[in-house]
């Protein structure tokens, strides 16, 4: 046992290096995934309108699907750039950025247009109260512009992460987060002479945030000396249908698997909506707090992609496996701390978003139980990133689509129709089904990664 543990420690990247890559990535994810919805929810909650808060949550929950789709092509780019960087084919890395930029821009335009012109249909399908529809439709249309900007921005960060630069995305996200907080607070609540814009102010603040991200990213990539080796031409001029096809071929399974996960949240919210406005806002509060607590796993799931891809590119499969094992152990320890914090301070945390104490009776006890189930999610997160780093994206896609399509979807529908009188019990059964499903996905990934086939995919 001692020799086996020593082999894990000695091969692959050191724990120090892994943490060095992870820390900026976790800060980046905090600034991108966790803090914006939490702070936005806190500011909107201060308007003391449950309907407005519910409209915000339902819109953002649906938009999360598109954000997950936006992540697919950058993930494929990280894998490709990581392989080229590990093999010291630097010019190929630069070409990949140009192809990624044009691909994400085109797809972003298409999806943003679909959301803009179908916002009312989306809200009515979700089955929310009529007043929530009237509040949410203009906001969702404004956020469609944000979706396009997100698609464009993620391509730049994919390139940086592929060449093992996680520090710069952290800095850029931190700057943009400060900008977002200022404009969100100013425009939503009407500070410094601005009109009180409510939800629309939140949408405008997000647009400003991502414009800042894109401008800084372009400036950094085009001016830094250490990136000169990657570009013999400006990346805007790089476009090859053959390379774009290769990116899309690697991306579409990621889109489907990430989309299936995100659509499951939308389906879950639709099944919860008939329980009433307090259940709707409870779902949003718990979802945001859980995403905050699981941030260490999200950060590790991101860096394991290039840790694996770079090792396999350098013909070091043993090092790739050691990296996976190290990341799994560190993540488990960190999540024990963060999820325990949620359980211990559930009432205080929920109270931040419920100044009128209208739904804390449901959200606080549900948060404790759901937090215990979140541990089922981290295994599939890390192993999914590992398989993507090896290019085995179709396994991730098939496992998630099958589990969420064949198990989760009918299970939640059946539970929603059961005559369960206790509101907390019904809510926990609905939400908890999601994490039971991720646990099943994790078992499939673990089985796959124990076979030799996962590391032999061509990129």
What's the structural domain count of the chain? 1
Q: Is the pLDDT of residue 55 over 80?
A: no
Q: Over the stretch 300-338, which tens digit does the pLDDT of each residue have?
A: 888 888 788 777 777 777 778 888 888 888 999 999 999
- The rounded distance, in Å, linking the Cα atoms of 139 and 440 is 36
- The rounded distance, in Å, linking the Cα atoms of 173 and 168 is 9
Residue 276, phi then psi, degrees to nearest 5:
110, 175
Choice among 61-65, 379-383, 403-407 with the minimum mean pLDDT: 61-65
Q: Which stretches of 224-316 are DSSP H helices? A: 241-272, 277-293, 295-313
The two three-digit tokens of residue 87, written as one number: 């093999």
- The rounded distance, in Å, linking the Cα atoms of 393 and 256 is 10
Amino acid 84: pLDDT: 66
Cα dihedral sign, 280-283-286-291: negative
**27, 174 Cβ separation under 8 angstroms:** yes
Q: Is the pLDDT of residue 150 over 70?
A: yes
pLDDT range class, residue 220, cuts 50, 70, 90? confident
CB atoms < 10 A from the CB of 49, how many? 17
Greatest extent of the chain over all pairs of C-alpha atoms, in Å = 67
Q: Which domain holds residue 330?
A: 2-455
Amino acid 457: pLDDT: 54
pTM of the full structure: 0.70
More confident residue, 436 or 72: 436
Over pLDDT 90: what percentage of the chain? Answer: 16
Amino acid 322: pLDDT: 84
Q: Is the pLDDT of residue 137 over 90?
A: no
Average of pLDDT values for 431-451?
A: 90
In the chain, what is the straight-line distance between the N-terminal and C-terminal CA atoms, in Å? 35
pLDDT range class, residue 91, cuts 50, 70, 90? low
Q: Is the pLDDT of residue 185 over 70?
A: yes
Q: Is the pLDDT of residue 31 over 90?
A: no
């Amino acid at each position: 046992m001692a020799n086996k543990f020593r082999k894990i420690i000695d091969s692959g990247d050191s724990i120090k290096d892994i943490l060095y890559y992870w820390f900026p990535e976790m800060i980046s994810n905090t600034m991108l995934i966790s803090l914006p919805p939490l702070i936005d929810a806190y500011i909107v909650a201060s308007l003391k309108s449950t309907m407005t808060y519910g409209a915000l949550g339902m819109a953002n929950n649906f938009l999360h699907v598109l954000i997950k789709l936006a992540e697919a092509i950058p993930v494929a780019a990280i894998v490709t750039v990581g392989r080229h960087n590990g093999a010291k084919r630097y010019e190929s890395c630069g070409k990949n950025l140009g192809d990624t930029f044009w691909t994400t821009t085109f797809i972003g335009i298409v999806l943003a247009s679909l959301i803009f012109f179908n916002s009312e249909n989306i809200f009515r399908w979700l089955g929310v109260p009529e007043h929530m529809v009237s509040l949410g439709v203009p906001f969702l249309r404004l956020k469609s512009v944000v979706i396009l900007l997100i698609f464009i921005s993620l391509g730049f960060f994919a390139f940086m992460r592929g060449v093992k630069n996680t520090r710069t995305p952290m800095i850029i996200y931190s700057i943009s987060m400060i900008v977002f907080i200022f404009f969100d607070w100013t425009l939503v609540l009407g500070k410094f002479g601005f009109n009180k814009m409510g939800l629309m102010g939140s949408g405008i603040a997000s647009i400003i945030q991502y414009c800042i991200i894109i401008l800084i990213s372009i400036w950094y990539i085009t001016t830094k000396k250490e990136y000169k080796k990657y570009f013999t031409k400006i990346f805007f001029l790089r476009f090859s249908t053959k390379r774009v096809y290769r990116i899309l071929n690697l991306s579409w399974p990621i889109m489907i698997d990430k989309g299936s996960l995100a659509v499951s949240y939308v389906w879950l919210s639709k099944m919860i909506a008939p329980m009433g406005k307090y259940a709707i806002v409870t779902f949003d509060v718990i979802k945001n707090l859980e995403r905050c607590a699981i941030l260490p796993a999200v950060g590790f799931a991101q860096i394991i992609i290039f840790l694996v891809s770079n090792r396999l590119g350098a013909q070091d499969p043993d090092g790739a496996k050691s990296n996976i094992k190290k990341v799994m152990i560190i993540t488990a320890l960190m999540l024990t701390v963060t999820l325990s914090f949620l359980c211990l301070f559930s009432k205080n945390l929920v109270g931040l978003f419920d100044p009128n104490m209208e739904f804390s009776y449901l959200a606080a006890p549900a948060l404790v139980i759901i937090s215990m189930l979140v541990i089922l999610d981290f295994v599939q997160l890390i192993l999914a990133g590992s398989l993507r780093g090896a290019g085995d994206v179709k396994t991730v896609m098939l496992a998630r689509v099958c589990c969420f399509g064949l198990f989760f979807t009918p299970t939640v529908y059946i539970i929603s129709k059961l005559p369960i009188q206790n509101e907390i019990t019904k809510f926990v059964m609905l939400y908890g089904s999601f994490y039971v499903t991720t646990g099943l996905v994790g078992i499939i990934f673990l089985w796959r990664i124990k076979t030799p086939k996962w590391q032999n995919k061509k990129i």
